[in-house]
Amino acid sequence: AQSVAQPEDQVNVAEGNPLTVKCTYSVSGNPYLFWYVQYPNRGLQFLLKYITGDNLVKGSYGFEAEFNKSQTSFHLKKQSALVSDSALYFCAVRDSGTASKLTFGTGTRLQVTL
């Protein structure tokens, strides 16, 4: 079985400050890890993924994430938050041995204020 935990329902940060959105996962095999963002009444928009290789992956809009195998974590980060980053962020995992479903966390709402 595979699972994802996003321990924070909401993260608040001031514009211009760095942000971190936390994610831990559990899979039986090697993990494929993803971050998606969701704006109100919209579908999910892909941000970045870790499949293999460098533990630090860079994605869209200045976001990056660090894969840590020993801590089974894949935290999303950005050096300087923007008000327009305010949205719902989902971490997802799938086992590299399967071709199908993603398992998502419950989401973290990011609120960036002036």
Partner 1 sequence: DTGVSQDPRHKITKRGQNVTFRCDPISEHNRLYWYRQTLGQGPEFLTYFQNEAQLEKSRLLSDRFSAERPKGSFSTLEIQRTEQGDSAMYLCASNPGTDTQYFGPGTRLTVL
Binding site for partner 1 (CB under 8 A): 4, 32, 34, 36, 41-46, 49, 51, 90, 92, 99-107
Provide the minimum distance between the beta carbon of 76 and partner 1 in the complex, in angstroms, as a whole number: 14
22, 31, 74: which is closest to 51 by C-alpha? 31
Token pair recorded at residue 30: 């090697």
Provide the minimum distance between the beta carbon of 3 and partner 1 in the complex, in angstroms, as a whole number: 11
User: How far is C-alpha 24 from the chain's CA centre?
Assistant: 10
Provide the minimum distance between the beta carbon of 112 and partner 1 in the complex, in angstroms, as a whole number: 21
Greatest Cα pair distance in the chain: 44
Query: Which CB, 66 or 102, lies closer to partner 1?
Result: 102
